[in-house]
Structure formats: C-alpha cells, structure tokens
Structure 1
Amino acid sequence: MALGVRSCVSGKLTIKDMDFDVALEMINYMYCGRCDKIGELGADLLVAADKYSLPDLKLRCEKALISALNTENACDLLIMADTHSASRLKEKAIEFFVTHSSPITQTPGWQMILRQRPDLITEVVRSFVNPRAETEAMSS
C-alpha cells in the first residue's frame, strides 16, 4: 500500500475507488480486528480486502456472502468470486447453482452471466455433470 509523500505530509489519505463506509470498516478491521458492518458491506469489503491484500478480512467477507447466497444474488456473487479469487465463495456459489438452477435461470443475473461470462457457465455446467470432480478441481 504505497500512500505517497502527499498523504504523509498532509495527514490525509484519499481513497478514490471506495465508499467512505467501506474504507472506515476496512481500517476498523485493520486496527481493531472487528468488522461490524460485514453483513451490509460484505461485497464491497471483499473487493477492498482483495485489492489491499487483507486475506483474513477477505475470508470473513466470503463467509458472510456465502451465508447471504440466494437465487437473486447467486450470479453476481459467482462473478465477484471469480474476479477476486474468492475460491470458497466461488465453490459455494457453484454448489448453489446446482441445487437451485431453475429459479436462478429466471433472474436478470442469469442473462447477464450468459452474455458476459460464458466461461463461468461452462464451470457451472461441468459441476452438473460431475459435481465432486469440479469441487476437487477447484480446490487443487
């Protein structure tokens, strides 16, 4: 995390790609080990934890997002998990797809993932054919 000379001299740190609440929660976690708003900020915190190499925070976010996984957010969370190398979340999202495929294919997220991420659809389809082999391949 290179902050630059300007932030050291001014005593201010500007993070332009993150909402204030997310930055505050991330800093709170870094200094206090607490993450009080992980339920509401989990997705944004996962992105921040990945960007700033905070593996423990990232894992906590993955766990929170896994708990919140549903038919409406499954596609978004699968894309996020793949984009930010959140392997646990990705594995659970794919498992969720297998058990809830019918309602998921009726969501706007499904249409988006079909257009934008056919590679992820391939992974999901493979897990239908052989769920155990896909899970083992992802964890190795």
Structure 2
Amino acid sequence: MSTINYTTRTEGQTKINTIIWTVPNFIVLLENKTTREFRTEKSKDPADLSESRFQLKMQFLGRDNDIIEIYYLSPAPVFLKSILTICLKRFEERSIVIKEYHTVQANKWQYLATLFKRDIASYDGRDIFLLSDGSLRLKFQFMVTNDIKVDRTNVPEAQLSNDFENLLNNGMFSDVTMKSAEQIEYKVHKAVLASRSAVMKAHFEHNTTECYTNVVESPLESEVLKEVLTFIYSDKAPRVDEIPEKLLAAADYYQLSRLKSLCEEALHKKLTVDNAIETLQLADLHSANALKQLTLEFIKDGQAKLITKTEGWAKVKSVELIKRIYEYIMADDIDADIK
C-alpha cells in the first residue's frame, strides 16, 4: 500500500499543494503484469478533507509495464503550475517535468509525465530512481493562483459600445423619434433610452403624449442632443472637451450622472481666473457639487483678488453667490481666530 504526505501553504495569491507519494516495492508492482493502474487511496476518515485534494494515478503500458504515465485530478477548476520531482537516494532530487500556468478542468484526469521502466531500474540490477528500500517516491507541487494573467493578444476588443452606437446611427428597429430644438429627427429606441435615463423613462411609462405619438420633443439643440444620444448608446462623450458647458446642462436635464461627472472634469481642466465666476455659477445652477467645490478651492487658493477684477465678477448679480464665496474664503481665518 502506498503512502501520501499532503501539505499546503499559501504565498500571496498562490496556494502551493505539495504531495509526496511513496510506492513501496515498486519493481515488484511493475513485474505484476495484471496491474495496469495504480492510484492514491482516499482516506476512510470522515473528517479527512481528501475530497478537496488533488488525486494521483499511474497507468502502466506495454507488454512488460515498460511505460508509466503519471496523471493528476483537480477537485475544482483552477489555474495552476505543476512540478514533478523524483526523490533519489541520499536525499537527492531530480526534476522530471515543469508545466507552466494553465487552466485545468475539475474532476478530469490530466496527463503530467511519462517514466520508463528502464530508467527506474537498469537491467544489471542497479536501482536508479528508487530509494534504498526499493520504494519509488514522487514529489508533486501544484501551485494554484487567483492572480490570473491571461494573454489577451488574440482576444478581440469589446464591441458592445460600438455596436450600440451603430444602432443609433443606422436607426435599425427604432420605435420612437426624438426631435431637437431645430426639429432635426433622430430614430431611437425606447428600451435603450429608458434604461439609461430616468427622465426618458418617464416619457414612456406614464400616460403621456409621447406614449401615443412615439415622438419626444427635446429642448436641446441638435449638436448637443446628438452628443447626449451618443453617450446614452455608447457611454462615450467624444466632444465633452469642446462643449462641456452645454453638455453639463443636458446631463443635468436628463439625469445622466456619469456624463455630468465627465463635464465637471472637463470644466475643471479649463478653469482660469477669467472664467472662475462663470464656472461657479454654472456649477451652482446645475448642482454640480464636485465642480463647485473645486472652483471655490481655486478661488480661495490666492486667486480671489485677481478674480474680483474680471468681467465675470463685474456681472455677478447674485448676493447669495458673493456671500458663499466670502464665507468659503474666510472660513479658515475665522477658525484660526477662534482657536
């Protein structure tokens, strides 16, 4: 009966399963020509976790069992590297095979290596690969990792975004028409619009005119509406850096939070002393809180005196806005005085 020594350890994202399989009197086993297969035995202890462990087997081929094929079985689908080493006399080891990381199916025998009877014991009686007591000892290492790095060079790029954009551009299977402020028409799809915008969804789920006419009148001019629809269908905003002010208003109107964030980012990148007040007013009008905070920080960061000399400041009519800027700038000074 063979013996198994099974240990596991973890290194980072990798679990290393080490199995030392010792088969006693191996030559006697080979000489028994009725034996064509030899497997590791499962433990009869109910507390043993052998069901979750790797299993091993040898298959003997040839008239005189001249060829020994080594297989393993994984209890779960894994991404692993496998190493087979044979233990020799005087605590020496010899590497037989190393297989780099690859995906392995669950509960399916996997070929690992081939040994030859002539290499295990020579015809002159010298034991080459056996221990002093005639045992064959094989050491298996199965390195299972969750840190999978897949070669994606041959994987086609994702097409979903482009396919949906094509659906907008060709109007195939459209079931509703959307009109810009200039009455330019766009053939669109209720399901797509409703899934992306709560405002669009409201056009179709209540007893509205749009439900009967299948025509949606938009207050947006055509260049802006086209960009909004492009974003709805493809999640892309190709002109966000060109017309961020108009797209911010449109994103707020149709409750497109991601587009709104992209516009805030674009406006923040364009922030200057000359446009700081206009940007702050725009952010306040459309509840663009991130942009509002960033603009107030910009004004507070040594730009306040310069900004009061700009045309934008001269045109400010909102006392509430001026008060808000003042309170933000003075907040740290007041706190410092209190302390």
Work out which of the residue numbers 314, 318, 321 in structure 2 matches 1:120.
321
Query: 1:107 and 2:310 equivalent?
Result: yes
- Give the helix-richer structure, 1 or 2: 1
Give matches, 1:1-140, under 5 Å: 1=200, 2=203, 4-5=210-211, 8=214, 13-15=216-218, 17-99=219-301, 100-113=303-316, 116-131=317-332
Gaps of 5+ in 1: 134-140
Aligned residues, how many? Answer: 127
Counterpart CA distance in 2 for 1:77 and 1:131 is 23
- Counterpart-to-counterpart distance in 1, 2:242 and 2:332: 31
Return the offset for 1:127: 1.5
Letter in 2 for 1:73: N
Structure 2: which 5+ residue stretches go unaligned? Answer: 1-199, 205-209, 335-339
Amino acid at match of 1:110: W
The C-alpha deviation readout for 1:71-115, integer Å capped at 9, x for no partner, is 1211111111111110001001111111211221111110122xx
Which residue of the partner structure matches residue 138 of structure 1? none
Letter paired with 2:284: D
What's the RMSD between the two structures over aligned residues?
2.0
After superposition, the Cα gap between the structure-2 partners of 1:110 and 1:19, relative to the gap in structure 1 and judged at 3 Å, is same
Q: TM (normalized to structure 1)?
A: 0.82
Superposed structure 1 runs of 4+ greater than 4 Å apart: none
Letter in 2 for 1:117: S
Per the normalisation by structure 2, the TM-score is 0.35
Once the two structures are TM-superposed, the CA of residue 39 in structure 1 deviates from its matched residue by: 0.6
> Taking structure 1 as reference, are residues 105 and 30 closer, same or farther at Cα in structure 2, changes over 3 Å only?
same
| Larger-Rg structure | 2
More strand by share: 2
Counterpart of 2:320 in structure 1: which amino acid? D
